């Protein structure tokens, strides 16, 4: 049915079933890995999801090129992406909320504030609230026999030898710059400048890859100073927040890379028909905003 006709209803598809299977295997595999298992189930789920997404988005692109997408359907894509980003906002809000609760409520209570002084004296005498948490309650109570040991060093700005050698600063510069370059790409597309669009979008993809390389280097340094997921609650919150953000940067970089390849190899996108790119750019700006929050609350105030 044409774009001027009624709402286009695609044929029945098995892709949603396979997407559900891929998500289940991925989540189950991640949980298995965290409990001492291997990567096999997780990787199987990731492969299933990759094949499903490739097939699904290829179908959507073909339908749009064929003129099957009505204005109403295109509007539903906008709402769908908006709700998806909102769900991601809630996802990170839960982790930022956990960080706030730990720093402002849990640690003071464990150190004896309020009505918990007796519990503190009996269970972990000598524990003092501090953040980043370098000395865990287990260490305060059991000394060298403690099973939950804090890190040898934290990643906040206070431990940096030099501001210019501090990787989180460079990560921030790289990511904020990429937000500017993706905006330049969007502006070029609005002006029917496909060459400028390809150049600025390619630079954005390169900056996304550079960010991931710098974060990998940061993680290597973190493990060298015994900062791991097992390093008490500081290690857990650090890697959960930065790790999930890194996963979102990976996804966003892949999305923008696909858009760049579509433009360069297939000639896709016009200023009046470019929602695929716009959706990816919205997601990228969201990722940048989350990083600003991480930079402030994990690295600066951490």
> Where exactly are the structural domains of the chain?
1-69, 70-300
d(CA 167, CA 173): 10
The answer to which of 49-53, 116-120, 164-168, 253-257 has the lowest mean pLDDT is 116-120
Residue with tokens 């099957």: 68
Helices and strands (H and E) in the chain: how many? 10, 0
The residue-averaged pLDDT of 210-221 equals 97
Tell whether the model's pLDDT for residue 184 goes beyond 90: yes
User: How is residue 216 written in tokens?
Assistant: 């990998």
- What residues are paired with 270 via a beta bridge? 273
Tell whether the model's pLDDT for residue 2 goes beyond 90: no
What is the pLDDT at residue 8?
Answer: 66
Question: Residue 116 — very low, low, confident or very high, per pLDDT cuts 50/70/90?
Answer: low
Q: Which of 205, 194, 206 is nearest to 263 (CA)?
A: 194
What is the pLDDT at residue 272?
Answer: 86
Instruction: Please report, rounded to a whole number, the percentage of residues in the chain having pLDDT higher than 70.
Output: 97
Tell whether the model's pLDDT for residue 30 goes beyond 80: yes
| Cβ atoms of 231 and 276 closer than 8 Å | no
- What residues are paired with 273 via a beta bridge? 270
| Cβ atoms of 212 and 246 closer than 8 Å | yes
Tell whether the model's pLDDT for residue 160 goes beyond 90: no
**Better-scored residue on pLDDT, 83 or 66:** 83
Tell whether the model's pLDDT for residue 147 goes beyond 80: yes
The answer to which of 68-77, 108-117, 289-298 has the lowest mean pLDDT is 108-117
What is the pLDDT at residue 68?
Answer: 83
Let me know the angle formed at the C-alpha of 134 by 221 and 139, rounded to the nearest 5 degrees. Answer: 125
- How many CB atoms are located within 10 Å of the residue 288 CB? 19
Find the Cα–Cα–Cα–Cα dihedral 165, 168, 172, 173, rounded to 10°. Answer: 10
Tell whether the model's pLDDT for residue 192 goes beyond 90: yes
Mean residue pLDDT across the chain: 91
The pTM of this model reads 0.89
d(CA 241, CA 99): 9
3-state class (DSSP) for residue 273: strand
For 63-76, the pLDDT digits (tens) are 888 888 888 888 88
d(CA 251, CA 215): 15
Contacts 24+ apart (CB under 8 A), 19-24: 19/49, 19/52, 19/53, 19/56, 21/45, 21/48, 22/46, 22/47, 22/48, 22/49, 22/52, 23/49
Question: Residue 1 — very low, low, confident or very high, per pLDDT cuts 50/70/90?
Answer: very low
Residue with tokens 């909102």: 86
DSSP state for residue 211 in the 8-state scheme: H
| Cβ atoms of 251 and 290 closer than 8 Å | no
DSSP state for residue 10 in the 8-state scheme: P
* CATH number attached to the domain at 1-69: 1.10.287.70
The residue-averaged pLDDT of 268-291 equals 94
3-state class (DSSP) for residue 270: strand
| CATH architecture designation of domain 70-300 | Up-down Bundle (1.20)
The residue-averaged pLDDT of 244-256 equals 96
Tell me if 1-69 shares its fold with 70-300.
no
| Cβ atoms of 60 and 52 closer than 8 Å | no
């Amino acid at each position: 049915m044409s774009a001027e006709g009624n709402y286009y209803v695609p044929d029945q598809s098995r892709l949603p079933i396979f997407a559900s299977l891929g998500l289940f295997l991925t989540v189950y595999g991640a949980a298995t890995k965290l409990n001492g298992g291997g990567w096999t189930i997780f990787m199987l789920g990731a492969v299933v999801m990759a094949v499903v997404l490739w097939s699904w988005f290829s179908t959507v692109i073909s339908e749009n090129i064929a003129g099957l997408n009505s204005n109403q359907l295109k509007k539903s894509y906008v709402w769908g992406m908006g709700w998806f980003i909102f769900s991601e906002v809630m996802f990170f809000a839960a982790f930022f909320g956990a960080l706030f609760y730990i720093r402002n409520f849990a640690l003071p209570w464990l150190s004896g504030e309020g009505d918990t002084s007796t519990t503190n004296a009996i269970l972990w005498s000598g524990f003092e609230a501090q953040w980043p948490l370098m000395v865990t309650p287990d260490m305060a109570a059991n000394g060298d026999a403690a099973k939950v040991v804090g890190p040898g060093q934290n990643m906040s700005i206070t431990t940096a030898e030099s501001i210019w050698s501090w990787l989180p600063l460079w990560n921030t510069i790289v990511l904020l710059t990429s937000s500017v370059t993706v905006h330049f790409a969007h502006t070029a597309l609005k002006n029917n400048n496909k060459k400028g669009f390809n150049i600025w979008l390619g630079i954005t993809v390169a900056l996304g890859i550079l960010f991931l390389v710098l974060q990998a280097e940061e993680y290597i340094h973190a493990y060298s100073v015994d900062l791991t997921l097992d390093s008490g609650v500081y290690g857990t919150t650090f890697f959960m927040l930065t790790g999930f953000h890194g996963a979102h940067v990976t996804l966003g970089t892949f999305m923008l890379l696909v858009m760049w390849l579509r433009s360069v190899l297939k000639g896709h996108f016009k200023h009046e028909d470019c929602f695929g790119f716009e959706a990816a750019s919205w997601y990228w700006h969201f990722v940048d905003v989350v990083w600003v929050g991480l930079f402030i609350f994990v690295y600066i105030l951490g």
